[in-house]
Structure 1
Amino acid sequence: MSVTAQSVWNNCLEFIKDNIQPQAYKTWFEPIIAVKLTDAALSIQVPSKFFYEWLEEHYVKILKVSLTKELGETAKLVYIIKMENTYGNKQPFTEKIPSSNRGAVKSQNVDIPLNNKSPELRNPFVIPGIRNVKIESQLNPNYSFENFLEGDSNRLARSAGLAVAAKPGGTSFNPLLVFGGVGLGKTHLAHAIGVDIKDKYPEKTVLYISAEKFTQQYIDAVKKNNRNDFIHFYQIIDVLIIDDVQFLSGKTGTQDVFFHIFNHLHQNGKQVILTSDKAPVDMQDIEQRLLSRFKWGLSAELQNPDFETRVSILKNKLYRDGVEMPEDIIDYVAKNIKSNVRELEGAIISLIAQSSFNKKEITIDLARIIVEKFVKNTKREVSIDYIQKVVSDYFQMDIDTLQSKTRKRHIVQARQLAMFFAKKFTKASLASIGSQIGKRDHATVLHACKTVDNLSSTDKQFRKYVEDITKKLSI
């Protein structure tokens, strides 16, 4: 069998997989692509400069051992960094692969020059009439990296956030888009990055703002004929953090002005950080030219924390509040509240409050009462695993069959229904849904959702499937 770049890399991956944690392997090695093999030099493609730096810092030894096993003592590893858009000098270790749409992207970079240097520059964050261009960051210092605990569910987003905070505008993560469901820590992480940057670079102008407030400021600026002042104000920001960017959906004027501001900041090496409740590919009514810019940097998903992370979050919360609690009670709360961090902390606060106000000892029975009330008053979050179980049970097949590669019509339809309901009932991205339902890509999930919509309106039997499964998932 001929030796190829792929075969060599596959053998390296087998060795690496056996020697590191599964989540680390998934995060740092699965995205790598083997490109070419020249003599004893293997070229691999990585998504960003930060990715390369992380591998060199944390995994250089294991890479060297695995490659030497395959190619001998003279083995070399060449990194190819693929970036859709880059500014600044070419790094000596990179070999940039040209993006197919780079020309199109450049031609769209319409920039509004910053020509208003007047001290009377209007600042949307100060009371009208007061001549003050001092920009307050609007950051909450209580949100820090110290109390944003790392786990498998947030490792990539947190690591990227630390890299951006260490070198704002100087990494490939520009913009950094953090997305995920409600209460998973998007706002916390965005603030933490800003707080850390202010600490490291006090001279930099950092600004946090919600997309809703940004939109309202823009509407006010248009009413007062101050549109250019509004744009100029945002163009002097060094680090712009916009929370809940999905709120811009359908707001054409605000999207247009943000497009110009984004271009100016990005071209001038300024950092943009965005949060959203969904991945760019799932955003509705956002202009394509804006979505393409969101994809220039890194989109990092925050997922529901696993049990160990939930325990760590609770212990950290109790430590910060100076409260002691038995391990079995902490474990009980962590096992029974799984949906998000906000609900987890809310339950522990309720437990402490009940104990304090009623002068009761914190016991498992008290914890059970609080958790039951909390879970009852919280809308149940349906998981993708649960959806797959309900759909496979309904069609009397096992989950392995549902996820299989078979093209049998009834299995394909069951799989499409699982994808459709995963999109309807969860906050997961299309890519995440596809990955969990048979390792498909986001385009397959999108096609599945369209197919279910079409069949529901034309096929009476299929419409009954949808109605029956909807009832089961809504119980």
Structure 2
Amino acid sequence: MSKTAESVWNNCLAFIEDNITSQAYKTWFEPIKAVKLSDNALSIQVPSKFFYEWLEEHYVKILKVALTKELGATAKLVYIIRMENTYGNKQPFTEKIPSANRSNLQSQNVDVPLKNKSPELKNPFIIPGIRNVKIESQLNPNYNFDSFLEGESNRLARSAGLAVANKPGGTSFNPLLIFGGVGLGKTHLGHAIGVDIKDKYPEKTVLYISAEKFTQQYIESVKKNNRNDFIHFYQIIDVLIVDDIQLLSGKAGTQDVFFHIFNHLHQNGKQVILTSDKAPVDMIDIEQRLLSRFKWGLSAELNHPDYDTRVAIIKNKLYRDGVEMPDDIVEFLANNIKTNIRELEGAIISLIAHSSFNRKEITIELARKIVDNYVKHTKREVSIDYIQKVVSDYFQMDVDTLQSKTRKRHIVQARQLAMFFAKKFTKASLASIGSQIGQRDHATVLHACKTVDNLSSTDKQFRKYVEDLSKKLTL
């Protein structure tokens, strides 16, 4: 019977499991997948570069013995690491790393297919009507619904995304606009919808593109005098996902061409998915005809994750990276990093790296040191709840009074100041600010901001309120 990658790796695992602790086996070997067996070389896929480095540092000898036992003295081992290109369109790439020479296993050349800082779309312009040309989706398969955990902060957006993925172009969520602050998962959710659609409807043409890249392509098409080809290319897309649509602000030509593409796709039952750091009502220098179309479907906001969601995110990240961490440290991280998911995952990676490189056990003391350093050097976003508390304390009232319906002048002014600073210091939409500060609408928040600006320039005492509160909120 001929050997396969799976059979060879399973035999290796059986040997390894008998020779290390069960916890070590579960953490460092169960997540590994056998990929292929070719020319006496076994390729295995590991979740991260850190994971690969840990195996080479701690388990290279047992790997050598197990593999030599199966394939003989000429055995080769190649690690395949799923990585993310953080430039351009964030397309994932695979990095193949041969086992280190110290293992005495024969090694292969390093092969990194994609590391271009600004990879071009494949077939950026094609002849209209030809549908048999393959268009690369530019999707990151690691950004999927399984790794996008549901919580109170994202339930509406995630549910809408699943509905769109099940029936692209066939729901009332067209376009689907996902908006929220930095690091809350907008890009992840956009990719997840696209990945799910490609899985369910492989015949559909799905394309992910950043608004910045879209603009660059449009400018290039104007230079080369093939604007119509540019438009025709995008008109054949079945599912168009545009990230950071607010970056079209002030770009009249790009907005005009996107308007025509949007209309064509929408009228032909194609799905459009947009992400933005602002709600449509808060976008500046975007033409009204575009803004009105953004509102045709559903605008779903991603908010800061609550405590339970943060704990779930940490545990999911640890599981995916094959790392164990005590519950008290998980709770400490969830309690101390509240701003966004990107910060949370960054702190976890830093903590694991420090523990690994310095050969230190992961303890509360180490976690506190990492969090202190990480938070100190990371720009934190002040929460609306915190703003309300600071303003309430400053005017010697409780938050319930600040949020109440009373029209007493000093309370109204305190409420307006809270709205003003919420708009200034957070990425929340006007509607979200109003909802959190006494269930007001976005027009009330807009009026409050204008009132604060006017009073600051005409009332000396009021200007002092603004200055004092600014200092308190930026300490």
TM-score by length of 2: 0.72
Runs of 4+ in 1 over 4 A off after TM superposition: 127-133
Do the aligned residues in 1 keep the contact of 2:169 with 2:271 (CA within 8 Å)? Answer: yes
Q: Paired residue for 1:326?
A: 326
Structure 1 counterpart of 2:241, one-letter code: I
Q: Paired residue for 2:336?
A: 336
Do the aligned residues in 1 keep the contact of 2:161 with 2:189 (CA within 8 Å)? Answer: yes
Flag the 1:205–1:469 CA change in 2: closer, same or farther, 3 A.
Answer: same
Flag the 1:257–1:383 CA change in 2: closer, same or farther, 3 A.
Answer: same
Map 1:234-273 onto structure 2 (within 5 A): 234-273=234-273
Q: Paired residue for 1:419?
A: 419
1:125 aligns with 2:125: no
Flag the 1:130–1:254 CA change in 2: closer, same or farther, 3 A.
Answer: closer
- Separation of aligned partners in 1, 2:253 and 2:331: 49
Structure 1 counterpart of 2:138, one-letter code: Q
Structure 2 counterpart of 1:427, one-letter code: K
5+ residue gaps in structure 1? 1-123
- Separation of aligned partners in 2, 1:130 and 1:261: 15
Do the aligned residues in 1 keep the contact of 2:122 with 2:136 (CA within 8 Å)? Answer: no
SS at match of 1:423: helix
Q: Paired residue for 1:88?
A: none
- Separation of aligned partners in 2, 1:400 and 1:308: 25
SS at match of 1:411: helix
- Separation of aligned partners in 1, 2:321 and 2:124: 40
Q: Paired residue for 2:435?
A: 435
- Separation of aligned partners in 2, 1:222 and 1:271: 26
Q: Paired residue for 2:376?
A: 376
Q: Paired residue for 1:219?
A: 219
Q: Paired residue for 1:304?
A: 304
Do the aligned residues in 1 keep the contact of 2:124 with 2:230 (CA within 8 Å)? Answer: no
- Separation of aligned partners in 2, 1:237 and 1:191: 16
Structure 2 counterpart of 1:289, one-letter code: R
- Separation of aligned partners in 1, 2:467 and 2:139: 46
Q: Paired residue for 1:456?
A: 456
Map 1:270-285 onto structure 2 (within 5 A): 270-285=270-285
Per-residue CA shift, 1:18-73, capped at 9, x if unaligned? xxxxxxxxxxxxxxxxxxxxxxxxxxxxxxxxxxxxxxxxxxxxxxxxxxxxxxxx
Q: Paired residue for 2:156?
A: 156
How far apart are 1:129 and its partner, in Å?
Answer: 10
How far apart are 1:234 and its partner, in Å?
Answer: 0.5
Q: Paired residue for 1:60?
A: none
Q: Paired residue for 1:446?
A: 446
Identity of aligned residues (%): 86
Q: 404-413 vs 431-440, which deviates more?
A: 404-413
Q: Paired residue for 1:143?
A: 143
Structure 1 counterpart of 2:211, one-letter code: A
Q: Paired residue for 1:474?
A: 474
- Separation of aligned partners in 1, 2:337 and 2:234: 41
- Separation of aligned partners in 2, 1:224 and 1:461: 59
- Separation of aligned partners in 2, 1:317 and 1:404: 41
Q: 454-463 vs 286-295, which deviates more?
A: 454-463
Structure 1 counterpart of 2:415, one-letter code: R
Flag the 1:128–1:451 CA change in 2: closer, same or farther, 3 A.
Answer: closer
Structure 2 counterpart of 1:460, one-letter code: K
Q: Paired residue for 1:179?
A: 179
Per-residue CA shift, 1:140-163, capped at 9, x if unaligned? 111110111111111111111011
- Separation of aligned partners in 1, 2:310 and 2:170: 33
Q: Paired residue for 1:404?
A: 404
- Separation of aligned partners in 1, 2:158 and 2:243: 16
How far apart are 1:379 and its partner, in Å?
Answer: 1.5
Flag the 1:220–1:404 CA change in 2: closer, same or farther, 3 A.
Answer: same
Flag the 1:386–1:179 CA change in 2: closer, same or farther, 3 A.
Answer: same
Structure 2 counterpart of 1:144, one-letter code: N
5+ residue gaps in structure 2? 1-119
How far apart are 1:461 and its partner, in Å?
Answer: 2.1
Q: Work out which of the two has the higher radius of gyration on C-alpha atoms and give 1 or 2.
A: 2
Structure 1 counterpart of 2:308, one-letter code: E
Q: Paired residue for 2:82?
A: none
Aligned pairs, how many?
A: 352
